[in-house]
Amino acid sequence: MASDGIYIRQYRPSDLPQIRLLIFEEASITRAAKRAFLLKPASLIAYILGGIGLGLLSLPDGWCSPAATLGALLCVTGIALFTAVRRGITQALVIYCEEALKTDLEDITTHYRAPAAFFVAARPCSEKADNSVAEGTEEVVGYVGFDYQPDKNPETAVVRRMIVSEKHRGCGIAGRTMHALLAHAETIPALQCIELGTSEYQPAAQRLYERLGWEVAWVDQWVDPLGGWLWKVQIRHFRKPVGAAASLKVQVQ
């Protein structure tokens, strides 16, 4: 156990309620997405509509003139566009979280059965008289999934659901869970590399991966149904060789 009382262990079924709540706590990503939206094309159009509308409303023709009516309509349209897209960003993240709860997080024990793994960062809320932690008396403050399905692809695993509670960020929890994951990966002889994807709204996570030796393998984008007119999110896909593949890379270099 670290000096801050936080330790990394394997998932227990009693963790599930807290894990499901924690995935909806990604408030920082939502805020970052909304800040980025301020300079997206849809926002710029909303600003232009609002500016033209205010200009027409300020003309000396009176509030009942056609120009004032058009100005009011443009202002309302600009505000509606801006509000709708911001709400759409929030709703998209909610849908993402709900989909996670219907896929690998629906049954963690089954999906992440060995040789896959699911690591949890926890801290004790109370302790027994012998100083051991009783199951169910812990606060889950972060987790990460090691998705490995050797029957489908024995050479590659995927990191999923790297999440740290917002109030416990800056304590090195992400690094500790990732070190536990990498140590587990090194015990699998057939495994050659691990992959993960992260959005442009998670720069701290990207810096962590780069410090741990991950390299960007490819970049793609998530775009809105209108082809990127409303929003466009860059996704960086990282890859890290492990085991014999990592040793071979070092020798080649």
Q: Which positions ≥6 away from 139 have C-beta within 8 Å?
A: 18, 122, 123, 124, 125
| pLDDT value at residue 3 | 59
User: Where do the DSSP E strands lie in the chain?
Assistant: 7-10, 117-124, 138-147, 156-164, 193-199, 215-223, 232-241
| pLDDT value at residue 229 | 64
Identify whether the C-beta of residue 166 lies closer than 8 Å to the C-beta of residue 25: yes
| pLDDT value at residue 37 | 74
Mean pLDDT calculated for residue range 31-48: 78
Of 32 and 80, more confident: 80
Q: What is the CATH number of domain 7-130+137-252?
A: 3.40.630.30
- Evaluate if residue 252 carries a pLDDT over 60: no
Q: Which positions ≥6 away from 211 have C-beta within 8 Å?
A: none
Grade residue 238 by pLDDT with cuts at 50, 70 and 90. very high
- Evaluate if residue 211 carries a pLDDT over 50: yes
Which tens digits make up the pLDDT trace of 43-65?
888 889 999 988 888 888 766 78
| pLDDT value at residue 73 | 92
Most confident residue range from 5-14, 29-38, 82-91, 162-171: 5-14
Domain positions in the chain are 7-130+137-252
The model scores a pTM over 0.85? no
- Evaluate if residue 105 carries a pLDDT over 70: yes
SS3 content of the chain, % helix, strand, coil (to 5): 45, 25, 30
Most confident residue range from 19-28, 104-113, 127-136, 196-205: 104-113
> What string of DSSP letters covers 79-141?
HHHHHHHHHHHHHHHHHHHHHHHHTTTTSHHHHT-TTSEEEEEEEESS--TTSPPPTT-EEEE
Of 177 and 126, more confident: 177
User: How many alpha carbons fall within 13 Å on the CB side of residue 35?
Assistant: 9
Is the link from the previous residue into 17 a cis peptide, with omega within 30 of 0? no
CA 195, CA 14: separation in Å to the nearest integer?
A: 28
Kindly report the backbone phi and psi dihedral angles of residue 249, in degrees, each rounded to the nearest multiple of 5, phi listed first: -65, -40
